[in-house]
Amino acid sequence: MNFIILTFIRMALTPAERKQRYVLKHKALNGDEYKLKEKLKNKKYYASKVKHIELKEEDLVIKPSEPNHEFVLLKPIKKRLNPVNKSKINVNTISLYIKTMKKLYLAYHKTELIDDTELSNLLSNKKYDMNIINTQFGFIKDNIYDIIKNNNKNDIRVLYSVITRFKYYSKTVKQLYPYILKFQDIYDTERANKVVDNTVATKMESLSFDKKDILDKLNENTDLSDNEKLIYVLLTLFPTRRPVDYRKMLVSFNEPKNQSKLSYVDKNNYYYNKTFYFNITKNKKLQKFTVPDELDDIIKSLITEKEDNEYLLSSNKNQLTQIQLSKLIMNTFYKIYKVSISAVEIRRLYATHLKNLAENKLITIREHKDISDMMNHNYEENKKYSY
């Protein structure tokens, strides 16, 4: 009888496989150190890609993670506020939710969640298998307080948003809700007590929202590209909105149709006939505003080559990515003011500008409320947003 002896030879790992194995092991066993190294790496990369963002000496040192604040056990609420959540969420939010849930899964199981099909289906309001969801995320029920203690506020908020969509998780929802309230209280307090340090003061002194000052700066800076000119005037000559509102804005030659019944992915904002149509907003409120004369003249002068339904801000006729848009804003405002000002800061400074106008009786409360609405803020939110 002939015997065939099979010898299994283990092939050497490729560099990519070796790196992937190292990353998985390092993330599972040394999570805090891994996060710090990744944060530093990303900071260096961002600084290299966005001009004029300088790393300070202390940024180049990997510091030990801050100890958690003393954990306080909060009493669960007695009754769940709402039934299982089935509201429609957009694809970007779904992606964020899945990423966060996989992060929590990795921290608990020390291994990656490979199959996120059921979670994706659940978040997309498609048919899903609850047994698989329970198998994958049942650990949350028994470990909710450890999860709250060992994760940041943003991840806990996402966790709450996700488990409100899970059947049979009412007890966990009721346990988690008091912490969501606590985080919101902390956020509101910190936002109300913002400090104007030297850096903020420099930005306040540099950026004037006076119409003449804006137009003078635009005329002085003759080396700005069309995209740079557009983003500059969009964020200054119109009440400062979230930049993403302009990232998905199309130039239209015909009046846009009502998009209230379309899904998020099918919606766009529009510029048409001296009017902004905002169909994609944070609070899902459809808005329509007349564009001020000076801003409209500038936009018209810069879009003469654009075709119908082409992006207002674009790169080779393609929509800008979020990173491209952030870089565009940072670089544009540094070119003009020689100081780095982020999109969030521009928005805060505009809200502060409004508050100063109101305090000096240069606008009425009614006007303050109307302009806040143009920023897609409510009146009280806008006042808190300011310095």
The model's pLDDT over 209-266, given as tens digits with 9 standing for 90+, comes to 999 999 999 999 999 999 999 999 999 999 999 999 999 999 999 999 888 888 777 8
- CA 55 to chain centroid, in Å, comes to 23
Q: What 3-state DSSP class applies to 278?
A: strand
Q: What is the pLDDT of residue 3?
A: 42
Q: Which residues contact 140 (CB under 8 A, 6 or more apart)?
A: 104, 147, 159, 163, 169, 172
Q: Which residue has the higher pLDDT, 37 or 348?
A: 348
Q: Which two tokens stand for residue 206?
A: 């540099």
- Whether the pLDDT of residue 365 is over 60: the answer is yes
Does residue 89 have a pLDDT over 90? Answer: no
- Report d(CA 176, CA 75) in Å as an integer: 9
Q: Which residue has the tokens 């003469």?
A: 304
What is the residue extent of each domain of the chain? Answer: 15-60, 91-192, 198-385
Q: Which CATH architecture has domain 198-385?
A: Orthogonal Bundle (1.10)
Does the pLDDT of residue 42 top 70, yes or no? no
- pLDDT, position 215: 97
Q: What is the mean pLDDT of the chain?
A: 84
Return d(Cα 383, Cα 195) in angstroms, integer: 15
| 368-378: average pLDDT | 94
Q: In one letter, which amino acid is 264?
A: Y
Q: Which residues pair with 314 in a beta bridge?
A: 319
Regarding pTM above 0.85, the answer is: no
* pLDDT tens per residue across span 135-188: 999 999 999 999 999 999 889 999 999 999 999 999 999 999 999 988 887 776
